[in-house]
Amino acid sequence: MAEETPDISAMTFEDALRALEDVVRKLEGGEVPLDQSISLYERGEALRKHCQARLDAAQARIEKIVAGPDGAPSHTVPFDSDG
């Protein structure tokens, strides 16, 4: 991959997701040489892990903050629960 690739750990979730989508687009296009495909796949996996870590961190933050009737945080609930 001749173009410069930014450091994944410094990327925002949105930037990493766009980069991952670009990797997928290139791989699905089928016009990338095998060696480059392997490099793209490795970068895609690293981007996926970064995105998942950012989502997990956001979920943890959401679970910590649940407002009570007065608007003040009162307790925590799992991110995917209804209550």
**Tens digit of each residue's pLDDT (9 = 90 or more) over 45-61:** 999 999 999 999 998 88
Output the pLDDT for position 80.
61
Q: What sign does the CA torsion over 13, 19, 23, 26 have?
A: positive
- Whichever domain contains 47, its CATH number is 1.10.287
Q: Does a structural domain hold residue 26? A: yes
Cα separation of 57 and 40, whole Å?
26
pLDDT at position 18 over 50: yes
Cα separation of 46 and 50, whole Å?
6
The pTM assigned to this predicted structure is 0.72
Q: Does a structural domain hold residue 35? A: yes
Residue 60: domain span? 11-64
Mean pLDDT of 35-48: 97
Count of domains in the chain? 1
DSSP designation for 70: T
Q: Does a structural domain hold residue 34? A: yes
Q: What sign does the CA torsion over 69, 71, 74, 79 have?
A: positive
Q: Does a structural domain hold residue 38? A: yes
Q: Does a structural domain hold residue 5? A: no
